[in-house]
Amino acid sequence: MTNELSRRDLLRLSAAGVAATSLSGWLPVLASHAAQSGARHKACIVLFMEGGPSHKDTFDLKPGTKDGGEFKPIPTSVPGLQISEHLPKVAKWMHEGAVIRSMSTGEGAHGRARYYMHTGYKEGVGGIVHPTLGSIVSKELGRPDFAMPNFVAVGRGAYGAGFLGAKHQPLVVTDTKRGVENLRPFTSSEQFDQRIGLLEEMESAFHREYKAASAVDHRTTYARAVTLMKSKEAKAFDLSLEPESSRSKYGSGNFAEGCLLARRLVEVGVPFVEVGLGGWDTHQDNFDRVKRLSQQIDQPMAALIGDLKERGLLKDTLVIWMGEFGRTPRINARGAKPGRDHYPRAWSTAMWGAGMKAGQVIGETDKEGATVTKRPTSGLDFLATVCTLLGITYTKNNNTPNGRPIRIVEKGATPIAELLS
Amino acid sequence: MNRSKLIIRWGQGLVAALTATLLALPALSAAENKAPAPNESKNAKALAAKIDQRIEARLREEKVPASPAASDAEFLRRVSLDITGVIPTAERAKAFLDSGDPDKRAKLIDELLASPEYGKRMADVWQDLLLTRTSDNRRMNPAPFYAWLKENFNANKPWDRMTRELLTASGTQDKNAAVTYFVANESVDKITDNVTKNLLGVQLQCAQCHNHPFTAWKQTEYWAMAAFFMKVRADNANRAVRQGSSPGVSEGPQINRNRRALPESAKMVPAKFLGGEQPKLIEREAYRPIVADWITSPKNPYFARAMANRVWAMMFGRGIVNPVDDMHEGNEPSHPELLKDLADGFIASGFDVKELIRAVALGKTYQRSSKPVEGNADTDRALLARMPIKVLPAEMLFDSLVQVSGSAPVREGRPARQGRGPAAGPRQQFVNFFRADEGADPTEYNHGIPQALRVMNSAQFNRTTLVDQLTRNGPKPEEAIERLFLSVLSRRPTSAETTRFTAHLTKAGLRSGCNDVLWVLLNSSECVVNR
């Protein structure tokens, strides 16, 4: 609460302090704050598999059992840990990460499950909209004086800031080729600067006479937007600046480019990026589709983890692979190319980096992948683990606009101790 | 002739004549619905005077000086936005500023209340409050409900009747749009939360799972109120849309134990009015008309107060009880007698919403400048020593932008897909992008960087239609500048502004210079706030 106030005051002060000067006066103030804020913070990249990926066909294979499916397991860089044959590049990075095979949750409809796994709360309870993980990270780890947004979502489905407010909303990049929309002036940059100068001149009388906090906030946001337009960090959004050699490591397509964009953003200090990939709702034609999807994620995920490692960023960056639930252990009877249906009772997630005790498998399911037999992990346990790895106190309260305290993660969560060092 | 028709005609230009003749008539109790409309102005004026009396008494008590009356320009833009949700056209602004009629403010208020834009503004506010959007109803088509709200507010259907129609609605959405309320709030807890919060101004939702921490509401009271809605059967909107049918609502003879309707946490207790008695119920008969009777009764302790407080908040950016939907003994009104006056006046008028808005807008309190004077810049906002400055909600920003550019926006909605529900049109897309969060303080600026970037740099905000029209006949620079100011800020430029921008136009050329000025005005703090 006090933290929030002082941030706000800081913003107001920095804007008010330059109220009487021209645009050239705005920017250095913000830039100097950015330069002072020093120590590198942790960051998080969520790769969200929309639709609910089949655990038995990705990270928890059950070869030779009933409805075990067509895929073969392959060894990974961790002795004894095997994953799908269609994730060979990811397999080489398992020593830097962990698979959680004991996810067990209660929501089996896409919307509600996605909301739950993003926020840790059941949708609609208590009449409030809860903040998504990215907004929580933006609030807890983001710098208000940073030229860049603190939460970037590539594709759809990341959910929003809920009661934390617009400052923690994601900046959404729908098309990686276009990057941030409206980042370039509509006119030439000379004309743009001239317009900003005129705006400054015209505004000063209004600001002086009305002394409105909203007007100060308006100006502050403009200063940040203009700073972003002119900042070198914003170049992180422009994938064409990436050398061809490293672009090709990721492959092509919106998800691959999303992974590359995530790396570029984390590199310049953005604390949270979510990249979504749809298509995992494989009620029909499960095996062809999961194979194709696995091939689609294998190369960019491996490239992302590899790049982060190579640049010394992986120790501070948590990369999470997850969906909203798993899929039925049974293969259904839908036509010639059957599939698997929604299954929240037992499923898998995987994560890498951020100083975790890597190279592990957490929990276990029975031989059909139907029931968790070891260390059941609820959505709350999962989010508490993520928060702890990121250095966020998950028991902390945030207040709604009406002053109601809401914990970051609800009571009843136990972080996975085996992963924490 | 029914009363709502009269009011509309009345606002369309008969005002002066009618007021003059009818003011002489003896005042009739407005609670008798047969009362002819025009004596309302007298009631509204009386209520406006009471408002000012209460506010001024408190200011004197606190020794806080009030700001002077708002200028015509301040008042014009403010009242247009508050009542119709859109800024006036340049022509309208000019005519109002130039008019010497001493009664022009009252006439403007009537004109705005009679404009169809009024219903749109009210529908924007109430659709947001009444339709809870979640993934369970994301395919629901809200358009018929929006039209229903708009039509009823425009016809000035008394608020008790509108509420009753909402609460007792049955049938399918294509036949009776009011059922959308229950379709959007499919489960017992959702509808109970919504009814108490928005129609009664009481936040009960915490008591769903535990006794309320700040108030006397007990968990059993929550479920006793919820019991009135437990027999409702509402179709799931997503499923109906997928099946190509219109979702419906009915009230059955027994409790609806469908998992979607009745949450696990539900407690089965006899139905009891909130803080009131336990009515005798016959299980086979519908419960909703009974709770609707209780809610909309002039004797209900919450209903009129809740609406009076909402209307107040709509005009001042802050309720007399604030947060606006959180009335409880620990959350005192800033002006308790005033809230009572407003609620009593609202009941006496027969729950006439336009009349309530008219009364508020006619008051000196509402017509005060938002500029601070020595001694009131940092005083408690609730005292209303000056008009609070609100930020334009997304809907107002969009409609005002369309008003300025004189044409519909470039960005088109996605085409609708079979079984997927309606696609968002350009206005809805814009609103989704600029929307503040639920419960946000209306006086706070909540846009982030993406919104600022869109206003500055998108084609949508850089349309040149207005400048093209304006510069076609080679106007003098000062004329062009004045026209741009009237279009965007509903005021004339100051002499300093005229001088500065004329110099710019001379340097940059008329057309390019005018586009610069338009850009500057659209991106100014003054444009995005309602002062």
Condensed to tens digits (0 to 9), the pLDDT of residues A289-308 reads 999 999 999 999 999 999 99
Contact A167 B446 (CB under 8 A): yes
Q: Which residue has the tokens 């260390």?
A: A375
Tally the C-alpha atoms within 13 A of residue B327's C-alpha that lie toward its C-beta: 26
Q: Which amino acid is at B471?
A: T
Q: Give the residue from A98, A105, A107 showing the smallest Cα distance to A417.
A: A98
- Pair A150, A142: CB distance under 8 Å: yes
Q: Is the pLDDT of residue B38 over 50?
A: no
Buried b (16+ CB within 10 A) or exposed e, A150-176: bbbbbbebbbbbbbbbbbbbbbbbeeb
Angle between helices B510-522 and B477-489 (to 10 degrees): 20
pTM confidence score: 0.77
Q: How many interchain CB pairs under 8 A, A with B?
A: 178
B228-278 pLDDT, tens digit per residue, is 999 999 999 999 999 999 999 999 999 999 988 998 889 999 999 998 899
DSSP B72: H
Residue entry with tokens 């100097």: A32
Neighbours of B59 (CB within 10 A): 18
Interface test with B, best of A22, A198, A342 (most B CBs within 10 A): A198
Distance from B326 to chain A by nearest Cα, in Å?
9
Mean pLDDT for A109-128 is 88
pLDDT digits (tens, 9 = 90+) for A314-326: 999 999 999 999 9
- Sequence-distant contacts of A181-185: CB under 8 A, at least 24 apart: A181/B450, A181/B453, A181/B454, A181/B458, A182/B450, A182/B453, A182/B454, A182/B456, A182/B457, A182/B458, A183/A228, A183/A229, A183/A234, A183/A237, A183/B453, A183/B457, A184/A229, A184/B457, A185/A229, A185/B456, A185/B457
Distance CA B485, CA B326 (A): 40
In this structure, what token pair is assigned to residue A215? 């007007």
Looking at residue B21, its pLDDT comes to 37
**C-alpha B405: how far from its chain's center?**
24
**Residue B168: other Cβ atoms inside 10 A:** 19
Q: How far is A416 from chain B (nearest CA, A)?
A: 28
Residue B349 CB partners (closer than 8 Å, separation 6+): B30, B31, B40, B43, B355, B356
CA-to-CA distance for A193 and A187, rounded, in angstroms?
A: 10
Residue A348 has pLDDT above 70, yes or no: yes
Task: Name residue A343's beta-bridge partners.
Answer: A326
Can you read off the two tokens belonging to residue A176? 């990686």
Q: Which residue of A has its CA nearest to B265?
A: A125
- Tell me the C-alpha distance between B288 and B301, whole Å: 19
pLDDT of B215 reads 65
Query: Residue A191: its chain B contacts at CB < 8 A?
Result: 516
Q: What percent of chain B is helix, strand and coil (3-state, nearest 5)?
A: 55, 5, 45
Give the amino acid at A204: S
- pLDDT (0 to 100) of residue A32: 41
Core vs surface per residue A24-36: b (16+ CB within 10 A) or e: eebbebbeebbee
Residue ranges of domains in chain A, CATH in brackets? 1-39+180-232 (no CATH), 41-179+238-419 (3.40.720.10)
CA dihedral B46, B48, B54, B60 (to 10 degrees): -110
- Cβ–Cβ below 8 Å for B445 and A127: no
CB atoms within 10 A of CB B101: 11
Strand order in the sheet with A347-353: A171-173, A151-154, A272-277, A43-49, A317-323, A347-353, A97-103, A360-362
Is there a contact between B135 and A166 if contact means CB atoms under 8 Å apart? no
- Give the residue, B7 or B341, on which the prediction is more confident: B341
Adjacent-strand bridge partners of A100: A349, A362
For residue B418, what pLDDT is reported? 55
Q: What is the DSSP letter of A109?
A: S
Closest CA to A138 of A16, A260, A42, A245: A42
| Rg value, chain A, Cα | 23
Mean pLDDT on A80-108: 97
Q: Tokens 């009252």 belong to which residue?
A: B106
| pLDDT interval class at A25 (50, 70, 90) | very low
Minimum CA–CA partner of A203 in chain B:
B524
Q: Tokens 């039509």 belong to which residue?
A: B151
Whether A202 sits inside 8 A of B529 (CB atoms) is no
Give B520's contacts in chain A (Cβ within 8 Å).
195, 198-199, 202
Cβ contact (<8 Å) for B525 and A219?
yes
**Residue B2 confidence (pLDDT):** 41
**For the purposes of burial, counting CB atoms within 10 Å of the CB of A291, is it exposed (0-12), middle (13-18) or buried (19 or more)?**
middle
Structure tokens at A383: 């989010």
What gap in Å lies between CA B174 and CA B106, rounded to an integer? 39
